[in-house]
Amino acid sequence: MSLYKVTIIGSGNWGSVVAKLAAVNTLKYPSLFDYKVYLYVYEEIVEGQKLSEIINTTHVNVKYLKGHILPDNIVAIPDLFKACVGSDILVFVLPIQFIPNVCYQLRYRVKKTAIAMTMIKGFNVEDGRLSLISNTIRRELNVPCAALMGANIAEGVIREEFCEATIGCNDLQHSEIFKKLFETKYFRIRCVPDEETVEMCGALKNVIALAAGLVDGSRAGSQNTKATIIRLGFVEMIEFCKRYFPNTRLETFFESCAIADLIASSYGGRNRKVAEYFANEPEKTLAELEEEMLQGQKLQGPITAANIYSILERESEVEKFPIFRAVHLTMIKKIPVSEFMLCVQNHPQHSIL
């Protein structure tokens, strides 16, 4: 049997960590995987040098994951097509902003038998309707696509702190291959046959993480308030999934991709952190704060909040999701941060006996 060739598409904060996980396992399973892991790097000049060359010579992603040495069987490639040609496993770990263009460039150009995975936490709206990233990948590349999501803040995983992740994959054989590719003793994986819910949870939790950051920043309340926002947010996540994916399985919400990621992201994570500053810096735009605080890394929560709002508004359902609504309107400065809590105080949950 020929060896699976692996390409990681995206070399940001998480993409670099994921490349490390894969590079450790391609060496661990030499009869299954080609030992080299190909990493597509969107080329940038950092202190006068090409980022791809820095990664290949120093094995450090000095822009997105400073201070951590990556395995030397990771090969950084700045040409998207060259990075993916002949690959059997394509792992998408780019900010959602760049996915349409990347998929478009790869159209008709990947191996017919390839399998894909998305680790992107977001979704798109196409013709007014919700469209999963995995669907875009399936449609544009004509390959199956699973999802891996979880409570996986990159900084913790690169330090090899114990955590879990969830693979959503409806094909048992593919689940086994992906698990072998990413699982380590500190990164434990559970596979569930509920692709859509796993992917949706990764996207939706970012909006609740923004809400948690707004609570922290505006000092609208203490830990009690934040816990309430997280609980109500969790309920909205479940209701939203049930509404748009009627086959969603309730048990998936107890996996790392849902409850655990919601908690991790509401206490750590970039969405929470930027929202906290946003609440305190009324004269600055979100884009300015994102640039200043993240230096090239990207937030996914605000785009997802906007997407949710547009879908719900189209169906006159916005009022049923007060946290999703209030986060979006606050982040686009349609309502002041001081009103954020007022918007969620009449949550439909409180009219249920």
Ligand X SMILES: NC(=O)C1=CN([C@@H]2O[C@H](COP(=O)(O)OP(=O)(O)OC[C@H]3O[C@@H](n4cnc5c(N)ncnc54)[C@H](O)[C@@H]3O)[C@@H](O)[C@H]2O)C=CC1
Are the C-beta atoms of 292 and 227 separated by less than 8 Å? no
Residue 70 contacts ligand 13P per CB under 6 A: no
Smallest gap, in angstroms, from Cβ of residue 219 to ligand X? 26
Copy the structure tokens of residue 302.
């605000």
Among 5, 63, 174, 270, binds ligand 13P (CB under 6 A): 270
Residues 124-150 as b/e (b if ≥16 CB within 10 A, e otherwise) read bbeeeebebbbbbbbebbebbbbbbbb
Among the listed residues 5, 63, 179, 205, the single catalytic one is 205
Residue 271 contacts ligand 13P per CB under 6 A: yes
300 is in an annotated binding site: yes
- What is the C-alpha separation between 234 and 223, in angstroms, rounded? 16
In the chain, alpha helices (H): 13-28, 51-58, 80-84, 99-106, 133-141, 154-158, 172-182, 195-218, 223-244, 261-267, 270-280, 286-294, 301-314, 322-331, 340-344
Taking each continuous run of H as one helix and of E as one strand, the counts in the chain are: 15, 12
Residue 152 contacts ligand 13P per CB under 6 A: yes
Give residue number: closest CB to ligand 13P: 269
321 is in an annotated binding site: no
The size of the interface with ligand 13P (CB under 6 A), counted in residues, is 13
Catalytic, 273? Answer no
Site track 88-127 with ligand 13P (rule: CB under 6 A), x = hit: ---------------------------------x------
User: Which residues of this protein are in contact with ligand X, per CB under 6 A?
Assistant: 10-15, 42, 64, 93-96, 98, 119-122, 152-154, 296-298, 300
Interacting partner of 253 out of ligand X, ligand 13P, none (Cβ under 5 to 8 A depending on kind) = none
Residue 265 contacts ligand 13P per CB under 6 A: yes
> Could you tell me the CA-to-CA distances from 178 to 19, 44, 110, 175 in Å, in that order?
13, 30, 18, 5
Name which of 83 and 305 has its Cβ closer to ligand 13P. 305
Interacting partner of 52 out of ligand 13P, ligand X, none (Cβ under 5 to 8 A depending on kind) = none
Are the C-beta atoms of 123 and 203 separated by less than 8 Å? yes
Reference 322, options 248, 211, 226; nearest CA is 211
> Could you tell me the CA-to-CA distances from 226 to 13, 209, 218, 271 in Å, in that order?
27, 10, 12, 15
Interacting partner of 98 out of ligand 13P, ligand X, none (Cβ under 5 to 8 A depending on kind) = ligand X
Interacting partner of 54 out of ligand X, ligand 13P, none (Cβ under 5 to 8 A depending on kind) = none
- What is the C-alpha separation between 292 and 55, in angstroms, rounded? 24
Residue 151 contacts ligand 13P per CB under 6 A: yes
Smallest gap, in angstroms, from Cβ of residue 341 to ligand X? 26
What is the rounded end-to-end Cα distance, in angstroms, of the chain? 60
Residue 25 contacts ligand 13P per CB under 6 A: no
Among 39, 110, 153, 204, binds ligand 13P (CB under 6 A): 153
Side-chain half-sphere exposure of 25, counting CA atoms within 13 A: 22
| Residue numbers annotated as active site | 205
**Residues of the binding site for NAD(+):** 10-15, 98, 154, 270, 298, 300
Binding site, annotated residues for substrate: 121, 270-271
Annotated binding site: 10-15, 98, 121, 154, 270-271, 298, 300
